[in-house]
Amino acid sequence: MSEVLAPAAILVASDDPSTRARLSKALGEMQHRVALAHDGEECLRGVLATPPDLVVADLSKTAVGSVEVCRMLKSDEATRPIPLIVLIPRAQRERRVDAFEAGADEVLPKPISEPEILARIKTMLRFKRLDDESRRQRRVIDSLLMISTMCQGYADASTRMFSDFGRRVAELLRAEQVAVILGRRGAPPSVLSFWPMSLAPARIDALARCEAVVRVMRSAAPITVGADESDRQASLGLEGGFVGVPVLGFDGEVLGAVTAFGTPSHLRPESVRILLALAGRVGAEVQLRDHTERLEELVRERTHDLVEAKGALERSQTETILRLAQAAEFRDHETGNHLTRLSQFSCFLARAIGMDRAFVELLALASLMHDIGKIGIPDAVLLKPGALTPAEREVMKRHTVFGAQICRGSDAPLLQMCERIALSHHEWWNGQGYPQGLRGEAIPAEARLVAVADVFDALISRRHYKEPWPIDRAFDHLTELAGTHLDPALVTAFLDVRGAVSEIAGRLADAA
């Protein structure tokens, strides 16, 4: 059974009227579309204007002959794939060789044998079709590969990336406009990116609202409309050919559409495949971007919550410590602003000797707990109006150990500092203090700091057994205690900031 080839466009260029007539008639009968050229120049113009599927050149009398036509068509990248049959008179052997060397695909002798030339044309058209198909497949593979690897050049799913996608797709599909449109969960469609970049805002808006785009998203299926389907174009609100495919999320949810407007009348099957590949990338990128945005929002919320919670925890911790310290103070005679002044004196002194901010912040609270152990001292001893007996004094000294026990065993730096201060704030620089008789720098620094502040505040405060001392006398007495009871370097530092200490003492003085 003879093979029936689809009609092809064949250009017959001949300066011989009888050849033109015979080939034109025979090829016409085979349903091919035949264009005629009378000389070489007309032939070249015809090929460039409307590239045919095959050229027959029979030009021996014109200025631009068959060999020249052959050379020119085969030296041009665009026209090289077009099969070319050259007819040369049988006697002109050398010209036949020239034609082959110029790139002719076939050289047949004249006078022509009609069956032979028709058979050669048929074979060549078949090869041309196979060659075209192979080129098309290669182009599709290149396009898919390009789209699947394009994202690698971009730091994120930016508008620039989608815009570049659009440009590439427009080139591949020969479309006039390409738009990536988003419209999920019934939200009005909006254009994520478009090409060409020069599109007017009104046109961009119209693309998003086009009926064809709405249908693609509603049906979650590709829609193709050829440039010659005017009825469908009208019903879909289009002005030309169209290819649109849905952008789907990982779970099949329709996120939008990738659309090409103004496509040619003949839409190739790969057009849809190219758009589907692009839509796949867009879907992944959009979801990734959404996911990242949601994650960032969540992190922002959680961070805010954490900061709030941390603040609340710190406030509650401070309040607990304050109340606990006050509870101990209420049982004692040391009421009023003693705790507040002691905390501020300690912190001022700590800053004066160069302690860092974190230490000072802990000290501000931990110093409040120095006498927390008094909670464990019996009222008979703690509240005794007169002088204590030696045995009672020993009981009283136990408040240091009780305080340390209350704070012991915590991982929190604050409570660990509380423990050191509670235990050691009655240690003396010369080792004569209690409860451990530590000496010099063996006494924790924070306990030595608090000791200076505590002794100083006791001197300037009223007690049931004494009036408050004038502040200068209190400073002088500290100097006398330096090196015996108190760390001499800390006393010096405290005296160096006596102006600020006096200001605190004045501001927070107890009511008379």
Positions in the binding site for Fe ion (CB under 5 A): 371, 454
The angle subtended at Cα 288 by Cα 284 and Cα 294, nearest 5°, is 145
In whole angstroms, what is the distance from residue 394 CA to residue 387 CA? 13
- We find the least distance from the C-beta atom of residue 292 to Fe ion, in angstroms, to be 56
- Whose Cβ is closer to Fe ion: residue 267's or residue 406's? 406
- We find the least distance from the C-beta atom of residue 453 to Fe ion, in angstroms, to be 9
For 13, phi and psi rounded to 5 degrees? -110, 110
In whole angstroms, what is the distance from residue 181 CA to residue 183 CA? 7
Q: Which residue is nearest to Fe ion (CB)?
A: 371
- Whose Cβ is closer to Fe ion: residue 82's or residue 404's? 404
DSSP E strand stretches across 113-183 = 177-182
- We find the least distance from the C-beta atom of residue 461 to Fe ion, in angstroms, to be 9
- Whose Cβ is closer to Fe ion: residue 261's or residue 402's? 402
Question: Do strands 9-14 and 33-37 pair parallel, antiparallel, or not at all (unpaired)?
Answer: parallel
- Whose Cβ is closer to Fe ion: residue 209's or residue 398's? 398
In whole angstroms, what is the distance from residue 55 CA to residue 37 CA? 10
- Whose Cβ is closer to Fe ion: residue 371's or residue 487's? 371
- We find the least distance from the C-beta atom of residue 335 to Fe ion, in angstroms, to be 11
In the block, residue with structure tokens 């905390």: 343
- Whose Cβ is closer to Fe ion: residue 284's or residue 471's? 471
User: What Å distances lie between residue 99 and 16, 94, 108, CA to CA?
Assistant: 18, 9, 10
For 486, phi and psi rounded to 5 degrees? -110, 155
State the helix-helix crossing angle for 114-150 and 17-29, rounded to 10 degrees: 70
- We find the least distance from the C-beta atom of residue 412 to Fe ion, in angstroms, to be 22
- Whose Cβ is closer to Fe ion: residue 100's or residue 469's? 469
- Whose Cβ is closer to Fe ion: residue 163's or residue 400's? 400
- Whose Cβ is closer to Fe ion: residue 39's or residue 454's? 454
**Of residues 394, 409, 399, 392, the one with CA closest to residue 373:** 399
**What is the four-CA torsion angle of 459, 465, 468, 474, rounded to 10 degrees?**
-30
In the block, residue with structure tokens 């010209």: 95
In whole angstroms, what is the distance from residue 70 CA to residue 104 CA? 6
- Whose Cβ is closer to Fe ion: residue 304's or residue 393's? 393
C-beta separation of 425 from 345 below 8 A: no
- We find the least distance from the C-beta atom of residue 411 to Fe ion, in angstroms, to be 25
In whole angstroms, what is the distance from residue 278 CA to residue 145 CA? 11
- We find the least distance from the C-beta atom of residue 370 to Fe ion, in angstroms, to be 6
- We find the least distance from the C-beta atom of residue 343 to Fe ion, in angstroms, to be 11
In the block, residue with structure tokens 């040391």: 334
**Of residues 206, 152, 151, the one with CA closest to residue 181:** 206
- We find the least distance from the C-beta atom of residue 422 to Fe ion, in angstroms, to be 8
- We find the least distance from the C-beta atom of residue 321 to Fe ion, in angstroms, to be 15
In whole angstroms, what is the distance from residue 55 CA to residue 73 CA? 10
Helix (H, G, I), strand (E, B) or coil at 163: helix
For 265, phi and psi rounded to 5 degrees? -65, -40
Q: For residue 291, give the H/E element and its range.
A: helix 269-331
